[in-house]
Amino acid sequence: MEKPHIKDMRRILIASANPLYGKGLEKLLTQKAGGILPDIRIASTMAETLAMLEEWKPDLVIVDYDDRTIDRGQFLNQFIAGDRAMQVMLVSLKASGTAVVYDRRTLSPDQTQDWLQLPIESQPSQGSVHPRRSEGMKHFIIVAVLVAVSTVLVNLLLQNIGLLPVEASTQATIIDRLFNTHFLVISFLFSLIVVFLVYSLVVFRRRKEDAQQEGKFFKGSTRLEVLWTILPLGTVIYFSYLGSLSLAETRRVDPQALEVKVIGRQWSWTFEYPEFGIVSDTLQLPVNRQVLLKMTSEDVIHSFWVPEFRVKQDLLPGENLVKELRITPTIIGSYKVRCAELCGTLHAYMESPVVVVSDVDFQAWVDEEVKLLNADPATRGERVSKQNGCLACHSVDGTRLVGPSWLGLYESQRELADGTTVVADDAYLLNSIIKPNAHVVAGYPPGVMPQSYVDSLSDTQLSDIIAFIKTLK
């Protein structure tokens, strides 16, 4: 509550039957006023006070807290009724200078109640200002202990319900250290709010016997406000410091890092190993060796994210906008890279396998891929056919599966569903892969073969498959 400024008060009325009270206060106020002296009058009876309120219109009325001849109910009615700005100060000389200020414009119902409960002698002199201080301390200690216990329990819960996937990279360990610190702060804040709330609801609930009472009114606490501004500010600054340390740590450079170019497009990933000349749709990584991913996008913004590795990086379109990400896988296994940036219709399906293998297995994979690079198109085509599931529906030995067999297909006469006949040349084979419903062979249902190969297979892969079909005579 704002203290009235004696200097701003031009007309001050002192109401007390005790002449010493009036004279004493008058002297005190005159000293405090400094240069401009306020106009001070003293009323020694109730009737005199009310008359002066009407006629003289004081800015401030100082009432003797201990004077029982003043009818406070009547005085209160007078005070509430008016609309002129006026303040009333109840000052006690007995209870070591206790003073309560009431402002006509902001007087609350609780304060009215307080006012009528006077005189203050009926209560212990300290008690009226700090009601049952030791009682309050007792509640505070109980709540503090409950908050501490709840913090430990909530944190334990958060740590054990598997919120995070397995930590499969050096970088993940660094990130998780931050996560765990956050979990602790979250547990504390949750406990602080919920424990205080529940404790107040249960312990200070309204009981039958105090149905008529209102709670004590108070407003503002500078100490509390300073505290709850500085503590969160300090916490946030500390966390930004921890964050920048961790960021620097996840970006630590290993000169021996394996370089892999990552290309994202709607809606697939390609991984290039410039050191070996390999291009792959699977990200193969050797365990415990840092990999430097250099990432670009061919169209829109995508985002490279393997949850088990924790780190994440956007891919931007444009040759000059290559983004780098360093990962050191620590656990052998199969993972999945997901696109973490909404990039169109099939965003949800933009994922590719990530395989972490031992050094030996990685070298074997590299050798196999390199051998294949130098292989003839037909051999490559056979592999592409296997990898893309072609051979699940098309046999190479003449057996009838879901689709026509590839044996003896090249340059044969094909009878189509519409009754016409075509020769299965290069153009026909290519068209049948990328537009499977254009020329359906008689006896086979349309709409069965996926129509996505036009996007998922490269031109080289398509011509390799055709080269493989040509060898099946």
Q: Rule CB under 6 A: which residues touch ligand CUA?
A: 264, 267, 302, 339, 341-343, 347, 350
Distance of CA 305 to the CA centre of its chain: 19
Residue 301 beta carbon to ligand CUA: minimum distance, rounded to whole angstroms:
8
> Which residues are bridge partners to 108 per DSSP?
none
- Taking the least distance from each CB to ligand CUA, the nearer of 173 and 266 is 266
- What does DSSP say about strands 421-423 and 333-339: parallel, antiparallel, or unpaired? unpaired
Distance (Å, whole) CA 435 – CA 451: 6
- Taking the least distance from each CB to ligand CUA, the nearer of 183 and 267 is 267
Could you tell me if 316 and 340 are in contact, meaning their C-beta atoms sit under 8 angstroms apart?
no
Closest CA to 364 of 278, 288, 293, 291: 278
Residue 270 beta carbon to ligand CUA: minimum distance, rounded to whole angstroms:
13
Residue 249 beta carbon to ligand CUA: minimum distance, rounded to whole angstroms:
28
- Taking the least distance from each CB to ligand CUA, the nearer of 267 and 453 is 267
Distance (Å, whole) CA 68 – CA 427: 113
Distance (Å, whole) CA 346 – CA 363: 34
> Which residues are bridge partners to 42 per DSSP?
14
- Taking the least distance from each CB to ligand CUA, the nearer of 267 and 309 is 267
The contacts of residue 6 (CB under 8 Å, 6+ apart) are 12, 29, 32, 33, 38, 60
Distance (Å, whole) CA 212 – CA 204: 15
Residue 297 beta carbon to ligand CUA: minimum distance, rounded to whole angstroms:
8
Residue 439 beta carbon to ligand CUA: minimum distance, rounded to whole angstroms:
33
- Taking the least distance from each CB to ligand CUA, the nearer of 278 and 343 is 343
Question: Residue 206 phi/psi, 5° resolution?
Answer: -75, 120
- Taking the least distance from each CB to ligand CUA, the nearer of 300 and 422 is 300
Q: Which residue has the tokens 């009682």?
A: 135
Distance (Å, whole) CA 423 – CA 166: 55
- Taking the least distance from each CB to ligand CUA, the nearer of 299 and 376 is 299
Could you tell me if 393 and 402 are in contact, meaning their C-beta atoms sit under 8 angstroms apart?
yes
Residue 222 beta carbon to ligand CUA: minimum distance, rounded to whole angstroms:
51
- Taking the least distance from each CB to ligand CUA, the nearer of 174 and 350 is 350
Residue 464 beta carbon to ligand CUA: minimum distance, rounded to whole angstroms:
26
Residue 377 beta carbon to ligand CUA: minimum distance, rounded to whole angstroms:
31
Residue 267 beta carbon to ligand CUA: minimum distance, rounded to whole angstroms:
6
Distance (Å, whole) CA 233 – CA 228: 9
> Which residues are bridge partners to 353 per DSSP?
336
For 328-340, what is the HEC assignment?
Answer: CECCCEEEEEEEC
32 residue type, one letter: K
The length of the chain in residues reads 473
- Taking the least distance from each CB to ligand CUA, the nearer of 338 and 380 is 338
